[in-house]
Chains A and B, each alone.
Chain A
């Protein structure tokens, strides 16, 4: 269908053009995935360097969220005389929703801006063009590696955040009254189902994939000039955060459909 694009407001047009670009980028990723040379070393390098950048922030946030949730939920649970359900409540919310989404948002901030700035400055200084004209596919070396690395790292960071958040929750439980560690583990993980963990993990793979893809795309399409780099980094964070929420919404719907 032919559509008059000039009838649309500029922001809507930009959004649609951007979305088309990202979709195209995803297609390119899957086509290039099978094409040698395979830059395995780069994948590990980026997984390590991007992952360790987020480790501290993810850890601290996880700890605090675990504690805060426990402290806040306790009075309500006490009202219903269901204090023994507190660990289960907290662990289910963390593992199903808060762990994956919070980790993904932190990664969208940290990893998204790093990738956007790195690739943006390579674009602006013609380093990406230099790779292209030397007949070495820059997509493989720069994008495929980062997308793989982040797709692997975000779920791992999510598991790490979940564990720390549960420790935070345990610590908060012991602020009032004492609970043995064994009892806490029994209560929190005992009621946890397979159907809580697996969808959460799958969705964090998608979070990672989206964050890396969007950020690489922003870097690759950075405007000329030095302000282009800052803009690429900034937009990478904004759009990948948005993608995290959209994927989360879709994931909830799909999970509901499958379970019911």
Chain B
């Protein structure tokens, strides 16, 4: 199997603060990898470096056979980014636009934008997929937290990305909505066969979505395994994640 994502020795510091310390990981084509880590460990920094929202200091990122850190800023980088979806922790819906305009926004602005009919169809399609068909005219402020996440997910999926990044998809949601979103992510991944990288500290989300889990500590990957393997492990540091997510319930 091919590696859709490969990160090698990635480092990033802010001044004296070393956040990523030669971190390496990879995701197979079609696989879902969950990166677990405590709040503030640098999970967001990691995926932001991978998509060039932040410029890493050192290392190599290879996504879909492209050497990401060497893509020139501008049209080429935009073209690469259209193949990749990103769900922000906050959802990051455009709050001056309706749900429909939010969904149309990236689609209409591609150099080879689809026909109007195709756009309308894809908006309806993707909204149905996340179970919110009747929200087209709503403004983001009128939506609940869980609905916002769903619309944000729809907005990423409408571009039919080959790779999806999720930044804490369940943080800030109640346990029931969290489970719903986690299941939706799994469903969407099966439907579109997207390679996914999910970062979270929510073990329940990892249990539902992950094919494989890695744990991040002090700027590197400390442990790797499946959900069940990690559950069997009696390292107290690993077990803390399991008890943490029970506390949330």
B110–A135 touching, CB < 8 Å: yes
Q: A195 an interface residue at 8 Å Cβ cutoff?
A: no
Q: Are A129 and B88 in contact (CB under 8 A)?
A: yes
What residues of A have a CB within 8 angstroms of the CB of B156 in the complex? 134
A137 at the B interface (CB under 8 A): yes
Scan residues 129-165 of chain A and give those whose CB is less than 8 A from a CB of chain B: 129-137, 141
- Interface residue tally for chain A (C-beta within 8 Å): 16
Whether the pair A127, B78 counts as a contact (CB closer than 8 A) is no
* Cα distance, A122 to B51, chains bound together (Å): 19
Q: Which of A36, A122, A130, A137 is B88 in contact with, Cβ under 8 Å?
A: A130
Which positions 74-124 of chain B face chain A at CB distance < 8 Å?
78-82, 84, 86, 88-90, 92-95, 105-106, 108-111
Tell me the smallest distance from the CB of A40 to a CB of chain B, in Å: 14
Q: Are B88 and A134 in contact (CB under 8 A)?
A: no
Contact A37 B90 (CB under 8 A): no
**Contact at A135–B92, with CB atoms within 8 Å?**
no
A220 CB to nearest B CB, Å = 13
Q: Are B90 and A125 in contact (CB under 8 A)?
A: yes
Q: Is the CB of B106 within 8 A of A129?
A: no
The answer, yes or no, to whether B159 is at the interface (CB within 8 Å) is: yes
Nearest CB to that of A134 among chain B residues? B106
Q: Please, which residues of chain B bring their CB within 8 A of the CB of A126?
A: 88-90, 92
Given contacts A125-B90, A126-B88, A132 and B95 within 8 Å (CB-CB)? no
Of A36, A127, A130, A141, most B-chain CB atoms within 10 Å:
A130
Binary contact readout A176-196 vs B (1 if CB under 8 angstroms, 0 otherwise): 000000000000000000000
B78 touches A137 (CB 8 A): yes
Kindly report which residue of chain A lies nearest to residue B110, judged by CB atoms: A135
| Pairwise interchain contact A130-B86, C-beta atoms closer than 8 A | yes
Question: Which A residues lie within 8 Å of B108 (CB)?
Answer: 37
A123 nearest CB across to chain B (Å): 11
Could you give, for residues 230-248 of chain A, a 1 whenever the CB lies within 8 Å of some chain B CB and a 0 otherwise?
0000000000000000000
Given the known inter-chain contacts A37-B109, A132-B53, please indicate yes or no for A127 contacting B82, CB distance below 8 A.
Answer: no
Besides A126-B90, A130-B94, A135-B81, 8 more A-B contacts (Cβ < 8 Å) are A36-B111, A37-B109, A122-B94, A125-B90, A133-B51, A134-B81, A134-B105, A135-B79
Nearest first, the 5 A-B pairs at minimum CB distance are A135-B82, A134-B106, A130-B92, A135-B81, A126-B92
Of the A-B pairs whose beta carbons lie under 8 Å apart in the complex, a sample of 15, sorted by A's number, is A122-B94, A127-B94, A129-B92, A132-B53, A133-B84, A134-B106, A134-B156, A134-B159, A135-B81, A135-B82, A135-B106, A136-B105, A136-B106, A136-B109, A136-B110
Q: Name B residues whose Cβ lies closer than 8 Å to a Cβ of A.
A: 48, 51, 53, 78-82, 84, 86, 88-90, 92-95, 105-106, 108-111, 155-156, 159
